[in-house]
Structure 1
């Protein structure tokens, strides 16, 4: 009996200590992606999962808690687990649906992405939608552009300015096929990093 309780407690503890960066599959059998929310829509506090500890923490810079000095995030912001983008971080995602609590996983459909230049480094922001949300009938970035062009303009404008004018340069939109290919490459990069074949 004591052994069973010990194993149960150990299992519960390992789930609590599991890092959202590596312990959750990047994709679901239905084709959706798993999405970890670091920064809920409408907030300005800059939270991030610590790569060493795997814990969600309020990011600090020069000893101060970081707050975006611009308008609040226009969507839920976070990442797809078990991926590594070119900058060594997981793939960045912003969703266009209502606020989801910080530190939670959610399913997301990727419809495309925005390609920015941050200094001299490529910074791709993937656009996701809740499969059951307001935009559930939107299948691609092209459809969003046609039916709700202001939504893309808001995202483009926000990312182009939230770090300060001229820090993030918009280069182009990426369609669904391009976005999925980049995420798959990022998953392969993560597998190589983890030593998985």
Structure 2
């Protein structure tokens, strides 16, 4: 019997490297998500023409965010991977954000991480190591992606590695792992 990607360890054994399970690869217009009932990755939507995911997008296993799903991660790395690939990464920060759910504001943060094996981003240790232009483009992607679905998405704060680690800790506590 196989283990659900949701139930994999949050961290790589013997390290503080975060596990990230990829759902949607960099450059894809197709938003994919793991469906635990099917045990497969499912097409959840298609981005408008000209829009693509700027980096691989996935989740941190054995976490539960305020929205009831595993924590979302945008993973900076050198080339796209594939849905279902697990990658060791280091947290660099978080875009703390909210969007409405049933008319009420709901937190839906986006963790930012760098693949441990990345050559292109090996110098990035904290969100503040990213250029303001790149951060703006990442924020714009999330806002426009949600706007295309008719959902407002509001960035509350850009926070560094320490805050991201706190959010991961809280999210693992919610799952009891």
TM-score category, normalised to shorter length? 0.7 to 0.9
Gapped runs of 5+ residues in structure 1?
1-13, 60-65
More helix by share: 1
Relative to the length of structure 1, the TM-score reads: 0.79
Q: Give me the CA root mean square deviation.
A: 1.6
Counterparts of 1:25-174 in structure 2, within 5 Å, are 25-28=9-12, 29-59=14-44, 66-69=45-48, 71-97=51-77, 98-119=79-100, 120-133=105-118, 134-144=120-130, 148-164=131-147, 167-174=152-159
Relative to the length of structure 2, the TM-score reads: 0.88
More strand by share: 2
Q: Which has the larger radius of gyration?
A: 1
Gapped runs of 5+ residues in structure 2?
none
Runs of 4+ aligned residues of structure 1 deviating over 3 Å after TM superposition are none
Q: Secondary structure at the match of 2:6?
A: coil
- Number of residue pairs matched by the alignment: 167
